[in-house]
Amino acid sequence: MATQIQYDRLGDPDVLEVATVPDPVAPDDGVVVAVRAVGVNPIDGKLRSGDRPSPPIAAPRVPGSDAAGVVLSVGADVDGWAPGDEVVVRNPRGAYTTHLVAAASQLVRKPAAVSWEQAAAIGVPAATAHQVLVSLGVGPGTTLLIHGGSGSVGRAAIQLARRMGATVVATGSPANHARLRALGATPVAYGDGLVERLRAAAPDGYDLILDAIGSDEALQASFELVDDRSRIGTIVVGPRAAELGIRAWGGGNPIPLTADELRLRDDGYALALDLIVEGEFEVDIARTFPLTQAADAARLVESGHPGGKVILLP
């Protein structure tokens, strides 16, 4: 029997329940993965709470969109994968489980040098960061401001942007400044006087801005720092993007990602895995929890200050 975390109504982490269900069977074009680690993302809580709209709940819903594990069984039409293969699953649905069904096309081979926790941590952050940076036009000589640099997407974006040749300034609380600096960004604290501090951090101005926090303070500062709002992109306040005149990728944006943007997100998985192996990409794991303590993990993530990625271990 498989164990999964599910909810049948919207609400706070207390609506999450531990359930036992029959082991799934691999579809002809897919596999069953014995999950070794699950990444907990802010979107999980937004969907569960109703802060991010989703279809009505018709059956118990299993959260989670980052997972890594071992292929347990393969469908009749699957080539190139076999039981025992260690994999990262791209964009899974219902990752909070011990047994995950995935299409063969969703699998990325996990290098032996990458831990289960690292493998489960890279999906949403690295895939999102890679796509957004490319879509924004980050490249050599650009100066990029990241609002919310200490979040998982922000930390990934700092490292990838620096690798692309950009100068990076990132906002964050003072407690995270040493880490932001170590990742390659100039840290700037939130709060009164933010615009002045940001201007001092980049006297020649900013070419591009990535909003990964969605606060009114961050948005207003962005508008004061760049004249062309098409140079501002958000992954948080998608529903307001058109009204604000900024670009948006996800974050509740009613305009779905394009085929090219989806491809860039898929590319981000393999890129991050390769860079981890090469020692050029770091993943900060804040804490791990047993799968059955998913509610406690959710509370930590939703506190807004986990200090890195939170991982569930089935």
Q: How confident is the model at residue 284, as a pLDDT?
A: 96
Q: What is the DSSP letter of 38?
A: E
Going along the chain from its start, the domains and CATH numbers come out as 2-122+283-313 (3.90.180.10), 125-259 (3.40.50.720)
Q: Pairing relation of β-strands 86-89 and 247-248?
A: unpaired
Q: What is the mean pLDDT of residues 237-251?
A: 95
Q: Where are the alpha helices (DSSP H) in 18-70?
A: 42-49
Q: What is the pLDDT of residue 305?
A: 79
Which DSSP helix (H) or strand (E) runs through 310? strand 309-313
pLDDT tens string 252-304:
999 999 999 999 999 999 999 999 999 999 999 999 999 999 999 999 999 98
CA 183/CA 275 separation, integer angstroms: 14
Provide the pLDDT for residue 270. 96
- C-beta separation of 95 from 35 below 8 A: yes
Chain mean pLDDT for the chain: 97
**pTM of the entire structure?**
0.95
Q: Read out DSSP for 64-130?
A: -S-EEEEEEEE-TT--S--TT-EEEESS-SS-SBSEEEEEGGGEEEPPTTS-HHHHHHSHHHHHHHH
Q: What integer pLDDT is reported at residue 307 of this predicted model?
A: 87
Percent of the chain predicted with pLDDT > 90 = 97
Tokens of 141: 């000589």
**How many of the other CB atoms lie within 10 Å of CB of 93?**
14
pLDDT tens-digit readout, 43-88? 999 999 999 999 999 999 999 999 999 999 999 999 999 999 999 9
What integer pLDDT is reported at residue 251 of this predicted model? 87
For residue range 115-161, list pLDDT tens digits in order: 999 999 999 999 999 999 999 999 999 999 999 999 999 999 999 99
CA pair distance 310, 287, nearest whole angstrom:
5
Helices 259-277 and 123-136, interaxial angle, to 10°?
120
CA neighbor of 164 nearest in space, from 309, 285, 280, 283: 280
pLDDT at 304: 83
Given a cut of 90, whether residue 8 has pLDDT beyond it is: yes
